[in-house]
C-alpha cells in the first residue's frame, strides 16, 4: 500500500513537470526594438581602436597578481574584447518583451542613463546600462552584467566600456570544489 502511494506521487510529479515544461512563458517587458544592438555599438564606438599608431596600456589582474604592458593595436586579439560584448546582445527576437527599461536624465551633466533589466531569470544577460549624451545621444559608457551558467561551472562577466577611454572585462569563474578564479583585464586607449 505504501509503495503504491510512492509510485502515485512520483507519477503525479512527472506529469506535472511535463505539463509545466510545455507551457510558454510570456513577459510584459518593452519591445526588443528599444533594446541596444551591441554589434552596432561596437562598430560605432570601439571598432576604430583596432588600428592606429598609438600603443595602449593593458592591465591584467589575475590571482591577485598585476601585470602591465603596452601593446600596439595590431598585437591585440580584438575578438577577446569584442566577444563578451557581442555575447550580451539582447537586440534579438528571442528576447522580445523580456527586459524592462528604466531611464534617468541628469540635467546637470546633460546625460541620460538607460537601464535594461531582465524579467526572465534564465537570461544570461542580467542587465545592461548605457550612459549617453542628452544633447547628441553619443554613448559615453556601456556596462553589462552577464552570467554564462554551465552544468558544473559558471562564468560571470562584468563588462565596462568607456567610450574613447577604456574597455574592462571582469571574469569570475565558479567551479565546485575549487577556488574562485577572478581575472580583470583593462585596456586603456589614452
What is the tens place of the pLDDT at every residue in 155-174?
Answer: 899 999 998 899 999 999 88
Model confidence over 145-156: pLDDT tens digits? 999 887 788 889
pLDDT of the residue at 35: 87
User: E-strand spans in 22-106?
Assistant: 56-62, 65-71, 99-106
Question: Could you list the pLDDT tens digit for every one of the 190 residues in the chain?
Answer: 666 676 666 766 666 666 555 455 777 788 878 888 899 988 888 777 777 778 899 999 998 899 999 999 889 888 888 888 888 889 888 888 999 999 999 999 999 999 999 999 889 999 999 999 989 988 999 999 999 887 788 889 999 999 889 999 999 988 888 888 999 999 998 7
User: E-strand spans in 38-89?
Assistant: 56-62, 65-71
pLDDT of the residue at 21: 54
- Ramachandran bin of 64, using left for φ above 0, alpha for ψ from -120 to 50, beta for the remaining angles: left
pLDDT of the residue at 178: 83
Q: Are 30 and 101 in contact (CB under 8 A)?
A: yes
pLDDT of the residue at 170: 94
Q: Which three cell numbers stand for residue 64?
A: 591577485
Amino acid at each position: 500500500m505504501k509503495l503504491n502511494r510512492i509510485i502515485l506521487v512520483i507519477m503525479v510529479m512527472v506529469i506535472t513537470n511535463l505539463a509545466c515544461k510545455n507551457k510558454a512563458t510570456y513577459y510584459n517587458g518593452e519591445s526588443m526594438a528599444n533594446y541596444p544592438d551591441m554589434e552596432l555599438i561596437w562598430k560605432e564606438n570601439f571598432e576604430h581602436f583596432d588600428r592606429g599608431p598609438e600603443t595602449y596600456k593593458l592591465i591584467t589582474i589575475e590571482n591577485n597578481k598585476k601585470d602591465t604592458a603596452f601593446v600596439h593595436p595590431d598585437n591585440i586579439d580584438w575578438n577577446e574584447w569584442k566577444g563578451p560584448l557581442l555575447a550580451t546582445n539582447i537586440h534579438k527576437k528571442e528576447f522580445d518583451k523580456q527586459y524592462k527599461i528604466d531611464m534617468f536624465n541628469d540635467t546637470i551633466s546633460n546625460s541620460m542613463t538607460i537601464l535594461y533589466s531582465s524579467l526572465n531569470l534564465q537570461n544570461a544577460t542580467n542587465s545592461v546600462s548605457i550612459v549617453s549624451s542628452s544633447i547628441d545621444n553619443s554613448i559615453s559608457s556601456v556596462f553589462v552584467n552577464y552570467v554564462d551558467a554551465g552544468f558544473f561551472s559558471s562564468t560571470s562577466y562584468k563588462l565596462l566600456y568607456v567610450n574613447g577611454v577604456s574597455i574592462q572585462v571582469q571574469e569570475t569563474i565558479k567551479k565546485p570544489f575549487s577556488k574562485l578564479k577572478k581575472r580583470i583585464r583593462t585596456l586603456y586607449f589614452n
